[in-house]
Amino acid sequence: MQNVKMISVSLDTDRLKWIKAIQNENMEWDNVIENGEFEGKVVKTYGVKAIPSIFLIDHKGIII
């Protein structure tokens, strides 16, 4: 697929545990951590109610 990018957003509260998981699972795509857990901006913007959640988002940030 062209023009597709995978991004993982973690709700972990332990940054070191999160980094170790990325390394152990060989997650070679972009990974970010949402420090606000379920109150964070990303979670609220996309209406995340549970994890894992999967979304297909266009280049404008709109859920397809």
Give the tens place of pLDDT for each residue, 9-62: 888 889 999 999 999 999 998 888 888 788 888 888 888 888 888 888 888 878
Dihedral through CA 18, CA 26, CA 28, CA 56, nearest 10? -70
| Residue 1: predicted pLDDT | 56
Alpha-carbon distance 5 to 55, whole Å?
12
| Residue 16: predicted pLDDT | 94
| Residue 4: predicted pLDDT | 78
